[in-house]
């Protein structure tokens, strides 16, 4: 498994950034009551909340498959990840610093945790794409 990623550092970065972290956030999103309470969101948003939980769960499960089969040729996973988390970083940063995306800010405030998570995921995918380019882009 580790040999497929070239070295232990990249394997651990992938394991933590693309499997464990999304699994943790998926669990938090599926258990929506605490999220609703934390961000003062009405329970009518449950269906959207469940849909939002599907992304990190799919990311984590796909990451497990990539660990098992190897990252060779799996460029789409990494490219979609960098695209999603670039957009996420732009949105969360703009909303957190009140630069843009202010609709509904009276009821919901983007936290520093969201911005830090966006930066972390963006950096993880960027490092992985740069260092695994010879493996994932066959």
CB of 77 within 8 A of CB of 61? no
Label each residue of the chain as H, E or C: CHHHHCCHHHHHHHHHHHHHHHHHHHHHHHCHHHHHHHHCCCHHHHHHHHHHHHHHHHHHHHHHHHHHHCCCCCHHHHHHHHHHHHHHHHHHHHHHCCCCCCCCCCCCCCCHHHHHHHHHHHHHHHHHHHHCHHHHCC
Q: What is the pLDDT of residues 123-137, one digit of tens each?
A: 999 999 999 999 999
pLDDT digits (tens, 9 = 90+) for 47-85: 888 888 898 999 999 999 999 999 999 999 999 999 999
* Cα gap 87→54, rounded to integer Å: 17
Q: What is the pTM of this model?
A: 0.87
Inter-helix orientation angle 75-96/46-69, to 10° = 140
Smallest CA-to-CA distance from 49 within 39, 60, 62 is with: 39
Confidence of residue 27 (pLDDT cuts 50, 70, 90): confident
């Amino acid at each position: 498994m580790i040999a497929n990623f070239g070295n232990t550092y990249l394997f651990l970065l992938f394991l933590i950034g693309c499997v464990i972290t999304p699994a943790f956030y998926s669990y938090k999103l599926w258990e929506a009551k605490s999220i609703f309470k934390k961000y003062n969101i009405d329970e009518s948003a449950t269906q959207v909340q469940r849909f939002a939980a599907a992304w990190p769960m799919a990311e984590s499960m796909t990451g497990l498959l990539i660990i098992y089969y190897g990252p060779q040729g799996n460029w789409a996973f990494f490219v979609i990840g960098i695209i999603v988390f670039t957009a996420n970083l732009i949105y969360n940063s703009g909303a957190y610093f009140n630069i843009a995306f202010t609709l509904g800010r009276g009821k919901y405030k983007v936290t520093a945790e969201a911005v830090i998570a966006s930066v972390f995921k963006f950096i993880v995918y960027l490092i992985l794409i740069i260092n695994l380019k010879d493996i994932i882009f066959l």
